[in-house]
Chain A
Amino acid sequence: MASDPTRRAIVAAAAALPVLIAGCKGTQALGTPPGPAPDVARLRAAIRAEQDLVASYQAVLQRLSGGRGAQRAVLTAVLTEHQDHLQQLRKRLIAGSPLAAGSGPLPRPEAAALPAGARQALSVLIRAERAASDRLLSQVPEVPPALAQLFASISASEATHVIALHAAGGA
């Protein structure tokens, strides 16, 4: 994927490499690279969660092709919001890319396992939204202020998706 954040983050980190190596001494430069800073790890986890949500919505929409128009409209609107979340989260990672060095590529997006039936599939999305919203909320005290505001806002958005999915026929 051309816009893969990990590739771009690594490219940005590689550009900073001479400075990092110059700052190291002797064999330390060859040692195990440090893991990402804790807030970068949380950001990467948030990106992973959004990637998976996007994949899940795409899978459900594919499953429901030819289904109810109103239901598809809700799912499409929510999918767009998750894509917006993902874009904003990725922007934060790239801006802090030197910190992301050594953290490796993000795993490929993974859609949730979907049961048969539209109602059941929507229920899977509802559970995924709740879990994602709660995870972001719990991390609000742990991350820098600007990221905390983004996490709080996305957490709130995901909480509203639960209501939208219930209204669209989810159990």
Chain B
Amino acid sequence: MGAGAAGRGAGGQAAEVRVLQAALAAEQAAIYGYGVVGAHLSGTGLGAATADWTAHQEAADRLMAEQRARGVTPAPAAVAYQLPHHVGTARQAIALAELLEERVTSAYLGLVALPSADLRMLGARQVRAAALRAAAWRGTTVAFPGLTVQALARAARSR
């Protein structure tokens, strides 16, 4: 692993585990959510939901492996998740898929701020993958995937 000096200490490792767990929680919620999304879609929409569900499964596996490599047992997924809004139509299912991807994008930005170069790159690649999936569902692009206006303002001050 390419962990920097701050990433090798106990505090650095604790931060890594915390951020990995937050990303895993977002992935687990997405896996659950895509089950709901797929149930309301058919044809190409269902195909896309299935492909995205698989991508989230693989990403969750990677995050669990990263946690185990740090001697930590990953927290299991919840049995069920409270959906952010009612999903009864294809349109609502697509809106849920967008939201799931936006949350995953934000969670991976946490990895990008860690000292470890490897975890930063893992985070950045997943930010890109989630932004691509979100844009595909949304049909439009955004300037700052995963970042809110407030986060941008805070970061500009911290530079």
Contact = CB atoms under 8 A, between A and B. Distances in A.
Interface of A: 77-78, 80-81, 84-85, 88, 91-92, 95-96, 133, 137, 140-141, 144-157, 159-161, 163-164
A161 B128 contact: no
A96 B146 CA distance: 24
Nearest to B153: A91
A140 B124 contact: yes
A28 B70 CA distance: 49
Contacts, number: 114
B132 A140 contact: no
15 contacts: A81-B142, A81-B143, A95-B157, A96-B159, A140-B112, A140-B120, A140-B123, A149-B112, A152-B123, A153-B147, A156-B105, A156-B127, A156-B128, A157-B145, A163-B132
B140 A77 contact: yes
Nearest to B136: A163
A144 B159 contact: yes
B128 A159 contact: yes
Contacts of B135: 160, 163-164
Interface in B91-109: 105, 109
Given A157-B143, A163-B132, A146 B155 contact: yes
Contacts of A147: 155, 159
Contacts of B112: 140, 145, 148-149, 152
Leading 7 A-B pairs by shortest Cβ distance: A156-B131, A141-B117, A145-B113, A81-B143, A160-B135, A146-B155, A152-B124
B18 interface: no
Interface of B: 2, 105, 109, 112-114, 117, 120-121, 123-125, 127-128, 130-132, 135-136, 140-147, 151-152, 155-159
A81 B136 CA distance: 17
A91 B156 CA distance: 6
Contacts of A81: 141-143
B142 A157 contact: yes
Most buried by A among B128, B140, B143, B144: B143
B121 A149 contact: no
B128 A137 contact: yes
B113 A146 contact: yes
A147 B124 CA distance: 12
Contacts of A140: 112, 120-121, 123-124
Contacts of B146: 149, 152-153, 156
A147 B156 CA distance: 9
A78 B141 contact: yes
A145 B158 CA distance: 10
B159 A137 contact: no
Given A95-B159, A140-B120, A141-B121, A149 B147 contact: yes
Given A140-B120, A148-B112, A157 B131 contact: yes
